[in-house]
Structure 1
Amino acid sequence: MARLNYTNRKIDGVKLGAVVARDLRKRATTFSKRSDALRDSAVHEVDLNLAGKNLTDDGLRELVHGLEDALQCFLDGNPCTKLEELNLANNALTARSLALLAPVVRLAKYDLKDLDLSDNKIEVKTQEEAQDWELFLDSFSGCHDFRRLDLTGNGLSGPLPFEILARVYSSHAPIDPTDLQGERLAAEAARHVNGDTDGFARGMENLTMNGHAAAPLHDSLLTPTQFSMSAATILKRRCGLRSVPYIILSDTALSDSGALWLSYILARHYFPQQLMSPLKPGPVATQLEEYRHRNNCWGLVYVPNESLGSSGDKVMTHAEAVRQELLGISEDPMAASVGSMVHVQAMQATRRQVFLRKHMGLC
């Protein structure tokens, strides 16, 4: 992965946004002109770090234009740029920036793993801000391998932002960690490689997930590289907000009314260990592990939030208890890595699906 770190650059704001956009376009163009041998060995996965550079909405607009151009640059059906991580922490971004980021998230849906928007100025109070927030959240509906969305330190006070979050979350395809349709898709992929394209197309159209149509894989953005990466696991990993292992909402001015909406999500959000494979030891695994040790939150992190009153705290505590009861989890004291901290019984997970459908209409 190419780690493009601009945090030590002397320039910032709109000027930096334009410089990064230019660099991304140049990088994509250079990659497209490489010989086949050099292209195969080139690194086109990108980790972009722009934390604390005072981009503002105007600077982000410049950056987004460059990202869109780079992400839409293909050669022989292969993407010239794969955006995996984007750090935009502490850049004075508002809800307007969320609308700008939505197309980028959609373009990077097969590769994006981490988006850090912490310590910005994102608020959801006006109708326009609400629309931007909803557009942004819904852009994750097609993300297949997304790992963490960090909104720490933004002012999401009141019920509106969490009402919208709950509504969008509910609209995304349900998931079931016990689902093994990814293996079926792998078989279809093997047939496709052997030339049975008609059978593959029919199989793709017929694939469903818990009664819902599987995310379409036949759009123009599905390149051979993306197909080979995702064919065997795309359904197994699921997609949308329901499949995001870590959603960080610490210090977001969470109110009691907001907690009520968030509790609906918490009660049905699967644990990270059910949504992602164990990570190799390293900085990422350590950081994700810290979330649990620091605030005892599993995946959906809402602590600390000093604005949360006793009523809201009780609601969230009850939702967490319901979540653990329905999932039938127990902590593994011998666990040493992310992914092995929780024992999950498949039967309990299935019971949970049935319970939610029958009594709460949540799946």
Structure 2
Amino acid sequence: MSSTDEIIRQWRHFGWHEKFRDVLGQNSKLVEKQIVCLKNSREKTTIWQLMITDGIEVLPVVLKIYKPPLKENHMVEMKMYQKASLTLQEFMPQIYWMERNVNGEEVWMFMEFVRPLRGQIKLTPKHFDAIIPTVAKFHATTFESQLEQHSNISDSWLPHYDSQSMALERSKHIEKTKKYLDLAMKDPGLRGVVEPSYTAIQQILQKGPVFFPEIMASGQSLIHGDLHVHNISCQNATTNQDWKIQFVDWESAKYAPVWFDLVVLVEILLDFRKDWQKDAEEIRSHCAHLYSEEMKKYGITFQTDPLQLLKMTYLQRTLEKRLLNHLRRVVRGEKSQLLERYLEKTMVWGKELGLY
């Protein structure tokens, strides 16, 4: 795994100060005592903050290191920065350059540092009003026929939700979910959690992998795919002015129904924030309709009620993979914060939306 010493060694070996002079238009050097590891992801990627100085001012830079063998999601993220950034420059940090074949087959990507939203403010539901307009603008840029105008994005490297391969993968996940429900029922410690919803959810799973055609009918665009608040950055969230939001960590990007990003941004956060849950219906309703109104500004309207679309997409996401992931965890003896929420909301919203 990379270390501070390794970064310094490679910096000197490749003479990266020369490249930064080309990028920044001035002589620069690495501040070796201010290298900080921001994230270590199971020894596949690491993210570092570097400080580059011209002797007077200091510029923070993000270094993301991809370890071989490169996974498909790593390739997607690199392509996003190489190709999609031409169209989506407003929504993502600037890439300075990628250095390939470091330590053999590693890829080192140097990019603009944009301050994470978390840590700048204490997040409250009202802050969705500052975030959702940018999400809508991002989606509208590649919504449906708009994508055809951007051949740099619509190449074969971009995963498509409605592709045969992804549909087959969802079907396989649903079959595994059925099996893990059975395994949980056989576990004395889990049976009490699963049993109240077991019969209904097994019945619902038979209707997959497309549980709500309305989600596809609502339209697709390039989505971020993992749009939780840790992946949202902006230069200054303490002002009431435009935050100039940018999104980071594009490994889950795909062409897919737009409401998946709203589910992660709003509904999954509600699942974690117990202090918000007493006002959950008001929050989700406001966010769903705000997003719908913002999309109207770009000529995009939804035939199905926005709140229903949010709930439908939450259940689709839960049933096609997330429920499996959390059942697998608890069967292995690990903890899950979301399993009971998934089961409860599948029962309540499944009945409300006619799944059983």
TM-score (norm 2): 0.29
